[in-house]
Structure 1
Amino acid sequence: MSAVAHETGSAVHPFRVDVPDEELTELRRRIAATRWPSPELVPDRSQGVQSATMRELARYWAGEYDWRRCEARLNALPQFTTEIDGVQVHFVHVRSPHADALPLIMTHGWPGSVIELLDSIGPLTDPTAHGGRAEDAFHLVLPSLPGYGFSGEPTELGWDVGRVAQAWAELMRRLGYTRYVAQGGDVGAGVTDVMGRQAPEGLLGIHMNLLVTALGGPQFPTDTEGERAAAAAIATFQASGFAYFLEMATRPQTIGYAQLDSPVALAAWLLDHDTDSYDKIARAFVDGRPTGNLTRDRIVDNITLYWLTGTGASAARSYWDNYGVAAVQARAAQPLPEVAVPVGFTTFPGEIWRTPRSWADQSYPTLSYFNEVDRGGHFAAWEEPELFATEVRAAFRPLRTPQVPEPRR
């Protein structure tokens, strides 16, 4: 990749991670100095992240974990930064060894980072090394959301998924990609959904693994057993698992103080997302039984990235920009058009709710690929990278020819 961006003259700089030893020493000191609450009074996670999970995570983090391993892994990848709309955007850019690879921009979510996508790089960029076909290869662009990880923090309001979507279109243009596809889960699904609605020049199609329209969107049918189960799962999430969402959408700065001051508080906040992923993470620490690639090291890699970059507060503020009162009112006043490009969707069984085909059809008239798989959850690329890559390949396979097939309507 050229060190100078195409056409715009905006510089693209190589990036390398180099954390000073004293920051790692200070991290271990702060973990050791944790003031622990008394244990929860219930046998499950209904009062929050459990004491046994957090104590074992802290013990491992301070005593056995090696950040340098993760740092070396990141530095083995081509990483860059470039300024877009006033924010320094960090991204990993791995070109496939296969010349006809399709460019793909993939967006992480919260409480994740580019780390949750690293295990999918090999299967996506070099499928022949992972049981796939050369014609299914991708050139891969993995940006860090503004305010997350190594990307800069926005210094003004308004960095919602729509503005990020515009930035990603500029990033792909800046890298010289005139035909590309986009994928996302969690917040990344929101970015990808909006990219499909903005339909920037060159975007051929999108794939998601979270139906963002199901929260606060249109009314969906509840006629079948699967539809009723999805509606019930959403109701349960909103009644008992929505605390992190509401806090960050309304008071992100408040929770930011704890995340920036205590590594254990940061870890607890990042772990308390959804029941399926929490249970898998708890098993990895308490029982030593990881699920898929959701291992102790990979979990702590992600938490440590948030700590070392000090992005707990700025990542939380992205929810205020997306889901705060002003943001909701603005979307209601000026709704976006329907997605105009072909849409692929995969339902993973451990997701907060299992999206029925009928809901995806109603949300996306251009739905061209839908599949339900037998394993994986909210962090699909992190947990099941090979299966995730298989789904992404299948969803985008029809879009690789210069003449894009007419989507099913």
Structure 2
Amino acid sequence: MDIDSFEIRVADQALDDLHRRLRATRWACATPSPAWQQGTDNAWLRELVAYWANEFDWRTAERALNQQPQFIANVNGQRVHFVHRRGVGAKPYPLVITHGWPGSFAEFRALLDRLCDPAAFGEDPDEAFDVVAPSLPGFTFSPAPAAPGTSAFQVADLWAALMRGLGYERFGAQGGDLGAGVSIALASRHNDAVQGIHLNFLPTSYEPAVDAATAPLTAAEQDYLREKAQWAAMEGGYAHMHSTKPQTLAASLNDSPAGLAAWIGEKFRAWSDCEGEIERRFSKDTLLTNLSLYWFTESIGSSVQLYWENRLQPFRFAQGQRVLPPVAFARFPREINHLPRSWVERVFDVAQWTDMPRGGHFAAMEEPGLLAADIRRFFKRFRP
């Protein structure tokens, strides 16, 4: 497997073009409805765009991102960008962490600090990890697949090959959002290598086979399925668009940084434990670092393509089918689905379940300390 070191270097012309587009934004008329009721609030978006155009320092963000050791590997013909950070300890445990949408590898900076160098946070150095954090195909610096058919299952095959190429024959996996789907696929397809998985989300396409005669739905499971359907009806329009008409959406978001900020920024507000105030959880600089990665790599269209592929290859488990490696689940209170433990146990061996006191969908960014501690606790059982 060919591996090259990688450093982010955005051309000055790209920065100039971004600033020109931001300052030339043609603003949509605001409606008389309350703020955020019909989507992204116009006043908030204007403030964010003005900051992006006039105050946000991409070069500072770029230098911070480049402090993480980054690489590009050719994995079975697919180029994959990844962060590979070695642990500070006697024998770090190997862990592959996968981001989701609308996130990126950048969301793991604070989490990696805690996982790779626990002693710096007063924790046991013997619980350090070697962390590999790849960028999903079509996200930021991982090019989109050249041919159709790359869903979470095929990404899992890429990750297994990448970890073997890095010298890790046995390892753990962690993920939320789309990354949870990849981690589940890793455990399902590569249980000879994957010792356990830690999740902070369960994909909405996950469906266990329900035997009404021997294991009927519990009241909690029925409530969960009703809530999931209600959420999909009122909040799931973005996912339906991603999975049915991704190229229609890509044409506008790839051309307008203000449109991109509206599409992604609204999700950071709606899905996080911020009580309606985004900057309770994410600074403008944090939001714009992530947005800028999508913008400069022109990857918004290729990123949502994964929704299309996952729709064609959803998680459907046959009667009696189970995922063999043990699973830990961290349930954050403001996650977009609040599923009961029994629903997960229909397919998974749940070895650890944690109800978190706070946090939402972007757990690695919102509560890196809580998430890191839960990951350390689970994977301790696999250490020599």
For this structure pair, what is the TM-score category when the shorter chain's length is used for normalisation?
over 0.9
What SS does the aligned partner of 2:172 have?
Answer: strand
Q: Distance in 1 between matches of 2:56 and 2:50?
A: 9
Q: Which residue of 2 aligns with 1:7?
A: none
Q: Distance in 1 between matches of 2:269 and 2:206?
A: 18
Change (3 A) 1:334 1:21: farther
Letter in 2 for 1:342: P
Q: Structure 1 residue 246 and structure 2 residue 227: aligned?
A: no
Q: Is the 8 A contact 2:269 2:276 kept in 1?
A: no
The partner residue of 2:331 within 341, 347, 355 is 347
Within 5 Å, which residues of 2 pair with 1:24-173?
24-173=15-164
Q: Is the 8 A contact 2:187 2:197 kept in 1?
A: yes
Q: CA deviation at 1:235?
A: 2.5
Q: Is the 8 A contact 2:191 2:325 kept in 1?
A: no
Unmatched tracts of structure 1, length 5 or more: 1-9, 402-409
Q: CA deviation at 1:31?
A: 0.6
Change (3 A) 1:335 1:171: farther
Q: Distance in 1 between matches of 2:146 and 2:313?
A: 17
Q: CA deviation at 1:130?
A: 1.2
What SS does the aligned partner of 1:261 have?
Answer: coil
Change (3 A) 1:335 1:160: farther
Task: State the Cα deviation string for residues 284-325 of structure 1 (Å, max 9, x = none).
Answer: 4xxxx422xx221111110000000000110011111111xx
The partner residue of 2:265 within 249, 262, 271 is 271
Q: CA deviation at 1:349?
A: 0.5
Q: CA deviation at 1:90?
A: 0.2
Q: Structure 1 residue 235 and structure 2 residue 221: aligned?
A: no
Q: Structure 1 residue 257 and structure 2 residue 251: aligned?
A: yes
Q: Is the 8 A contact 1:107 1:184 kept in 2?
A: yes
Q: Which residue of 2 aligns with 1:382?
A: 365
Q: CA deviation at 1:155?
A: 1.4
Task: State the Cα deviation string for residues 131-169 of structure 1 (Å, max 9, x = none).
Answer: 321122100100000000111111110110000000000
Q: Structure 1 residue 315 and structure 2 residue 311: aligned?
A: no
Change (3 A) 1:218 1:269: farther
Letter in 2 for 1:363: V
Q: Distance in 2 between matches of 1:100 and 1:268?
A: 44
Q: Which residue of 2 aligns with 1:290?
A: 280
Q: Which residue of 2 aligns with 1:23?
A: 14
Q: Which residue of 2 aligns with 1:207?
A: 198
Q: CA deviation at 1:275?
A: 5.9
The partner residue of 2:313 within 327, 330, 333 is 327
Q: Distance in 1 between matches of 2:367 and 2:23?
A: 33
TM-score by length of 2: 0.93
What SS does the aligned partner of 1:342 have?
Answer: strand
Q: Distance in 1 between matches of 2:320 and 2:217?
A: 22
What SS does the aligned partner of 1:378 have?
Answer: coil
Change (3 A) 1:335 1:68: farther
Q: Which residue of 2 aligns with 1:185?
A: 176
Change (3 A) 1:115 1:107: same
Q: Is the 8 A contact 1:241 1:273 kept in 2?
A: no
Q: Distance in 1 between matches of 2:273 and 2:93?
A: 36
Q: Is the 8 A contact 1:199 1:339 kept in 2?
A: no
Q: Distance in 2 between matches of 1:336 and 1:93?
A: 37
- Count how many residue pairs are aligned between Structure 1 and Structure 2: 379
The partner residue of 1:11 within 2, 18, 24 is 2
Q: CA deviation at 1:213?
A: 5.8
What SS does the aligned partner of 1:204 have?
Answer: strand
Letter in 1 for 2:52: W
What SS does the aligned partner of 2:296 have?
Answer: helix
Q: Distance in 2 between matches of 1:208 and 1:346?
A: 6
Q: Is the 8 A contact 2:156 2:186 kept in 1?
A: yes
Change (3 A) 1:298 1:32: same
Q: CA deviation at 1:245?
A: 0.4
Q: Distance in 1 between matches of 2:374 and 2:286?
A: 22
Change (3 A) 1:252 1:45: same
Q: Distance in 2 between matches of 1:47 and 1:255?
A: 18
Letter in 2 for 1:304: S
Change (3 A) 1:26 1:213: closer
Unmatched tracts of structure 2, length 5 or more: 211-215
Q: CA deviation at 1:212?
A: 2.0
- Which shows bigger deviation, 331-340 or 91-100? 331-340
Q: Structure 1 residue 370 and structure 2 residue 353: aligned?
A: yes
Letter in 2 for 1:259: L
Q: Which residue of 1 aligns with 2:219?
A: 223
TM-score by length of 1: 0.87
Letter in 1 for 2:280: P
Change (3 A) 1:82 1:347: same
Q: Distance in 2 between matches of 1:348 and 1:333?
A: 25
Q: CA deviation at 1:85?
A: 2.8
Change (3 A) 1:209 1:170: same
Q: Is the 8 A contact 1:233 1:352 kept in 2?
A: no
Q: Is the 8 A contact 1:119 1:385 kept in 2?
A: yes
Q: CA deviation at 1:367?
A: 1.2
Instruction: Percent identity, please.
Output: 39
Change (3 A) 1:52 1:282: farther
Task: State the Cα deviation string for residues 382-407 of structure 1 (Å, max 9, x = none).
Answer: 11111111111112111213xxxxxx
